């Protein structure tokens, strides 16, 4: 076979500490050694660059390559990952500890005329080919290696023999060098960037930096290098073990790999002030556990839980080799099809900013809330809800910019989709908001908006629909809902029908609801009256002196093709009847004539009804349920234009 090309001066460079070389070398000797206290054999080798040779030790994860014969004498390999360690009783020799390598050629004749190191003999070791029975290089008359002494040279050399295929290792009479016997790897003094807080243990050389994507729970030692892209606030909790605190941060490396690291209790005190967003760190040691996708949106099946032995070291000399952030933008029209609680990246132009408001959460704490509107080139807009510090930080800055006539581009990293009455996006603890970022997508949006996109018609996918939104909806008749099999798939179908309400079930038309605000909206679950006279919510496990009332309307709707049933909840019911459920219930209890007037007023009026059509299980029967998400009165001018457009499409 053709000879492989070895890397010139590879051994000298590697021994000098160049761990980025990734040299191609040849294995000219390979032996198994017993490690004190270990049940498995380790392997040491002599590697050659064609001229010089040096000692090497296989990491435990590579020993199977030698044990199975994949790597043997004569193999040509590329060292992908390695460190240099001091060995010997006086630590007066160096050896390359190979952590990862690629086998380029399993069999190859000895390349060049390499000189063996003076201490390559070891009577206590067994040759790897004798251990695994691997075939030798060449034929019976091929090139074997004989070790002979040179009178004028202190080093041994490898010479070719015309007979035999074994290595005959003859010790030199003048050879008094120490035998290479790394039965126990001596203590290692790590480089400054790996400096630990505790004592360095045996067999504990500094872990080599690996890509985040290569992390797995079966690695003994590892280190990753990444930029902090997000840092969460300190959260406090209480469980059976007592009170605690936790925070997390996300890392991104140069290969695009992402992972989350989490710290608890004393590690929060140790690392929270150390970690800063935007800076690059080397993180080593930690426990890898499966990711809980309900709380971790990153594209990684593992999450790091830092431990007492973990280290986080700042890289002061890091440049732009690691990006500041990684985005995977979804256009706003695609968010409309996203699942509830999905985590998305979105970018758009800010067209409106609402004032910040204060709400009370379930735990009694107050929280800041602010909503803004984003639009993009897909012809859609979406409501973005900011929570906490985002309201008075980025939110206030955006409000000032919009009030001055500037409509900035906003990139949202890790927003959470909410499908309550339409689709909206909200911030979470690991979200990031970038105003006018230096991204290609941002520049394209800026150009589009300034060149006509500002005045382009836009349909909202959130509950705050524009008055003309229905003109861009998928228009169906009631008969088509059944004939087209809508709602039978995995996802609901969203359609608009022009229909009249012909019947409203009035007993009941509403239910008693929990008034407590949970998260970004009212709890709204049904409450019952307790023996104390208060209203009890089973979900919140609280009692309230007053309850709220929310619509639950059962309707019949009809157009020129047929009749079907539909359900309207709070917002849609209020849009249809023009008053709140609390007011209508008060009219009914007081026998106020306005109760009947409100109900009659909406009957047999044409509306544009935005319907969510989805098949659901009712006992042993599956039925298609129509839920009214939005109610609009028909605008004669807009409807005429829609009909004319429809006619023109049929003519074409």
Name residues whose C-beta falls within 8 Å of residue 338's C-beta, 6 or more positions apart in sequence.
Answer: 330, 344, 417, 423
Q: What's residue 143's pLDDT? A: 36
Q: What's residue 498's pLDDT? A: 93
Cα–Cα–Cα angle for 43, 149, 24, nearest 5°? Answer: 40
- Enter the tokens of residue 152: 């004028």
- Which of 623, 628, 631, 634 lies closest to 611 in space, CA to CA? 628
The DSSP symbol for 47 reads E
Q: What's residue 278's pLDDT? A: 86
Q: Contact at 8 Å (CB) between 236 and 283?
A: no
Alpha helices of 95-217 — where are they, by DSSP H? 128-132
Residue 162 has pLDDT above 70, yes or no: no
Q: What's residue 652's pLDDT? A: 56
Count of all residues that appear for the chain in the document: 652
Residue 261 has pLDDT above 90, yes or no: yes
Who has greater pLDDT, 295 or 310? 310
Characterize the bridge pairing of strands 409-418 and 366-375: unpaired
**CATH class label, 212-314:** mainly beta
Alpha helices of 424-477 — where are they, by DSSP H? 440-450
CATH (residue range 478-509+552-643): 2.40.50.140
Judged on CB neighbours under 10 Å (0-12, 13-18, 19+), 241 is exposed
**Which whole number is the average pLDDT over 355-362?**
73
Per-residue pLDDT band for 66 (boundaries 50, 70, 90) equals confident
Q: Contact at 8 Å (CB) between 508 and 552?
A: yes
Per-residue pLDDT band for 576 (boundaries 50, 70, 90) equals very high
Q: What's residue 27's pLDDT? A: 92
Who has greater pLDDT, 281 or 154? 281
- Enter the tokens of residue 503: 């019947």
**Which whole number is the average pLDDT over 192-207?**
47
Who has greater pLDDT, 304 or 516? 304
Q: Contact at 8 Å (CB) between 175 and 118?
A: yes
CA 479, CA 481: separation in Å to the nearest integer? Answer: 5
Residues 113-129 pLDDT 10s: 887 776 555 444 444 44
- Top-confidence range, 174-178, 324-328, 508-512: 508-512
Residue 499 has pLDDT above 90, yes or no: yes
Cis ω for the linkage preceding 281 (within 30 of 0): no
CA 518, CA 95: separation in Å to the nearest integer? Answer: 62
Q: Contact at 8 Å (CB) between 396 and 370?
A: no
Q: Contact at 8 Å (CB) between 315 and 193?
A: yes
- Enter the tokens of residue 145: 């290696």
Residues 577-601 pLDDT 10s: 989 999 999 999 999 999 999 999 9
**Which whole number is the average pLDDT over 259-263?**
93
Q: What's residue 207's pLDDT? A: 66
Alpha helices of 181-281 — where are they, by DSSP H? 266-271
- Enter the tokens of residue 343: 């985590």
**Which whole number is the average pLDDT over 83-95?**
73
Q: What's residue 37's pLDDT? A: 47
* SS3 at position 67: helix
Residues 378-433 pLDDT 10s: 988 899 999 888 888 898 899 889 888 889 999 998 888 987 767 889 998 778 89
The CATH architecture that domain 332-460 belongs to is Beta Barrel (2.40)
b/e per residue 614-631 (b: at least 16 CB within 10 A): bbeeeeeeeebbbbbbbb
- Enter the tokens of residue 242: 């007592």
CA 610, CA 85: separation in Å to the nearest integer? Answer: 70
Share of the chain above pLDDT 90, in %: 25
Share of the chain above pLDDT 70, in %: 80
Q: What's residue 180's pLDDT? A: 33
**Which whole number is the average pLDDT over 559-572?**
92
Residues 453-483 pLDDT 10s: 888 878 888 854 433 333 346 889 999 998 9
Q: What's residue 90's pLDDT? A: 62
CA 252, CA 283: separation in Å to the nearest integer? Answer: 12
Q: What's residue 465's pLDDT? A: 41
Residues 97-116 pLDDT 10s: 888 888 888 888 888 888 77
Q: What's residue 197's pLDDT? A: 44
Name residues whose C-beta falls within 8 Å of residue 147's C-beta, 6 or more positions apart in sequence.
Answer: 116, 120, 156, 158, 167, 168, 169, 170
Angle between helices 581-589 and 594-601 (to 10 degrees): 130
The DSSP symbol for 454 reads G
Q: What's residue 404's pLDDT? A: 86
Any idea which of 130-134, 161-165, 325-329 has the lowest mean pLDDT? 161-165
Q: What's residue 494's pLDDT? A: 85
CA 373, CA 92: separation in Å to the nearest integer? Answer: 68
Residue 201 has pLDDT above 80, yes or no: no
Per-residue pLDDT band for 319 (boundaries 50, 70, 90) equals low
Q: What's residue 466's pLDDT? A: 36
Q: Contact at 8 Å (CB) between 553 and 576?
A: yes
Residue 86 has pLDDT above 60, yes or no: yes
- Which of 60, 380, 354 lies closest to 220 in space, CA to CA? 60
* SS3 at position 158: strand
The pLDDT mean for the chain works out to 79
Q: What's residue 149's pLDDT? A: 38
**Which whole number is the average pLDDT over 494-508?**
91
Q: Contact at 8 Å (CB) between 559 and 548?
A: no
Q: What's residue 563's pLDDT? A: 94
User: Are 10-117 and 212-314 equal in CATH topology?
Assistant: yes
Break the chain into its structural domains and give their ranges: 10-117, 212-314, 332-460, 478-509+552-643
Q: What's residue 132's pLDDT? A: 41
- Which of 489, 495, 473, 455 lies closest to 612 in space, CA to CA? 495
**Residue 465, number of CB atoms within 10 A of its CB:** 19
Residue 568 has pLDDT above 70, yes or no: yes
CATH (residue range 10-117): 2.40.50.140
């Amino acid at each position: 076979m053709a000879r492989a090309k070895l890397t010139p001066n590879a051994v000298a460079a590697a021994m000098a500490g160049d761990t980025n070389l990734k040299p191609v070398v040849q294995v000219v000797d390979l032996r198994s050694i017993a490690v004190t206290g270990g049940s498995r054999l380790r392997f040491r080798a002599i590697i050659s660059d064609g001229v010089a040779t040096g000692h090497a030790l296989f990491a435990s994860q590579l020993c199977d390559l030698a044990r199975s014969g994949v790597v043997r004498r004569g193999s040509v390999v590329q060292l992908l990952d390695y460190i240099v360690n001091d060995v010997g009783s006086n630590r007066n020799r160096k050896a390359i500890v190979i952590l990862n390598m690629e086998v380029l050629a399993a069999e190859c004749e000895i390349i060049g005329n390499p000189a063996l190191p003076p201490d390559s003999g070891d009577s206590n070791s067994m040759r790897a080919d004798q251990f695994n029975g691997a075939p030798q290089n060449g034929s019976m008359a091929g090139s074997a290696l004989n070790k002979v002494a040179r009178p004028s040279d202190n080093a041994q050399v490898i010479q070719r023999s015309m007979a035999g295929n074994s290595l005959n290792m003859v010790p030199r009479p003048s050879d008094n060098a120490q035998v290479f016997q790394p039965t126990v790897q001596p203590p290692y003094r790590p480089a400054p960037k790996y400096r630990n807080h505790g004592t360095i243990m045996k067999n504990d050389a500094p872990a080599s930096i690996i890509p985040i994507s290569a992390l797995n729970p079966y690695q003994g030692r590892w280190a990753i290098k990444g930029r902090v892209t997000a840092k969460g606030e300190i959260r406090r909790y209480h469980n059976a073990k007592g009170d605690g605190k936790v925070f997390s941060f996300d890392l991104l490396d140069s290969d695009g790999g992402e992972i989350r690291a989490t710290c608890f209790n004393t590690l929060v005190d140790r690392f929270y002030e150390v970690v800063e967003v935007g800076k690059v760190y080397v993180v080593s040691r930690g426990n890898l556990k499966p990711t809980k996708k309900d709380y971790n949106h990153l594209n990684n099946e593992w999450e790091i839980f830092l431990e007492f032995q973990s280290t986080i070291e700042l890289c002061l000399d890091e440049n732009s080799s690691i990006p500041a952030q990684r985005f995977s933008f979804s256009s706003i029209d695609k968010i409309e099809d996203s699942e509830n609680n999905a985590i998305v990246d979105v970018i758009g132009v800010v067209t409106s900013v609402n004032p910040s408001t204060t709400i009370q959460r379930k735990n009694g704490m107050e929280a800041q809330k602010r909503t803004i509107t984003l639009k993009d080139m897909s012809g859609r807009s979406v409501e973005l809800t900011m929570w906490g510090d985002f309201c008075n930080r980025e939110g206030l800055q955006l409000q000032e910019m919009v009030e001055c006539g500037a409509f900035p581009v906003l990139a949202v990293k890790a927003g959470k989709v909410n499908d309550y009455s339409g689709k909206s996006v909200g911030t979470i603890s690991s979200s990031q908001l970038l105003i006018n970022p230096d991204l290609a997508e941002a520049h394209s949006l800026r150009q589009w908006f300034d060149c006509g996109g500002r005045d382009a018609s836009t349909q909202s996918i959130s509950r705050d629909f524009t008055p003309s939104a229905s003109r861009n909806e998928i228009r169906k008749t009631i008969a088509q809902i059944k004939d087209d099999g809508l709602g039978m798939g995995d996802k609901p179908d969203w359609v608009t029908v022009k229909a009249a309400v012909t019947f409203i079930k009035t007993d009941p038309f509403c239910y008693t609801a929990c008034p407590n605000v949970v998260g970004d909206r009212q709890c709204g679950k049904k409450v019952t009256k307790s023996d104390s006279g208060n209203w009890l919510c089973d979900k919140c496990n609280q009692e309230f002196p007053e309850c709220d009332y929310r619509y639950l309307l059962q309707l019949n709707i009809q157009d020129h093709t047929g009749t079907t049933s539909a359900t309207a909840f709070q917002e849609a019911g209020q849009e249809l009847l023009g008053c709140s459920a609390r007011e209508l219930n008060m009219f009914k209890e007081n026998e106020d004539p306005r109760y009947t007037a409100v109900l009659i007023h909406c009957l047999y009026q044409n509306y544009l009804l935005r319907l969510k059509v989805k098949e659901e299980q009712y006992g042993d029967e599956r039925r298609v349920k129509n839920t009214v998400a939005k109610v609009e009165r028909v605008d004669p001018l807009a409807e005429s234009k829609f009909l004319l457009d429809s006619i023109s499409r049929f003519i074409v």
